[in-house]
Structure 1
Amino acid sequence: MQGVIDGDDVPGGCLVRFAAVAVDGFPALHPGDHVEFEWHRLDRPESDYAYECTRAWPVGQQPVTRGRRPFRAGLWRMHADGSAEQVSPASPGQDSPVPTSGGPTTGIVRLWNDEDGWGVIDSPQTPGGCWAHFSHIVAEGFRTVDVGADVTFEWQQVTNQDGYRYCATQVEQHRT
């Protein structure tokens, strides 16, 4: 739940976390959006970025102020188009999934979208598929995996990640 904002005043980009996004509802920005933002220079670069965003909002809108807490926790359903909706917590009589994790395990890449930077891995340990993001791929340079490739990955159970109940936390493609 972080990204990078490019700007003339922040050469190399400015790291922005979801808590700094000053919009109504789910704190998210989308690639290509024009934003206004406040930032500061980090004493020590983090994730190779020398700048960190303290507040960002879409151009033409007023930033939302949330008081002392930048974002209140809640349950959100994320959709493939990048939109989100808040979900009510389960009632006391309703079972909710217990977050678990596992790995390393092996699987096969079902689909991969280089443009969006995510895909799905199939494995018996993650029925229905395991959502994977490029940032969790162990590789040098441009991080991607090939459709149909064998991979070793670690995973965690999640409530809902783009319709999947599992999310990869580390992925390594078997190279031949």
Structure 2
Amino acid sequence: HVNPSGSEGGWVADSASVASTVSISGDAQVYDKACVSGEAQISGKARIYGDAKVFDNARVFGDAQVSDKAAIFDKAFVFGNAQISGHAHIYGEARVYGEARVYDTAHITGEARISGDACVSGNARVYGEVQIRGSVEIVGNAEVFGDVYLSGDARLSGESKLF
């Protein structure tokens, strides 16, 4: 891939769609029917595949993986060994990193931070200035919002709301 700066980096499959405004560096890969556009940046050993979309000013780096029909956009960052899949959306100025996993139709937005071994799945919503660390699980239709800090082995499920 030829970056906007003129440098070359990463690998893009013929089946994938990557705009000329996107910067890809290191050993990053974009393949299958994935689409990367806007001023997104993909670097390190990041993998974008399936029908995943990364756009706007989003960044995916480290060993992070974005797959299936997941979408990363606005000014969101996904890094470390984080895995985003299913129909999950990470947007706003959210950060997902460490070994964290977000999947199904979960949404992470605002200035939320998801890290450690945390898992957000189902139709869960995490937004605001929430920080989730450790082995926390947010599942089902649970919502976590506002100025909340969760760590350890907590599990929030069903129709639970924490704010």
The two structures have a TM-score, normalised by structure 1, of 0.20
The two structures have a TM-score, normalised by structure 2, of 0.21
Larger Rg: 1
Larger proportion of strand: 1
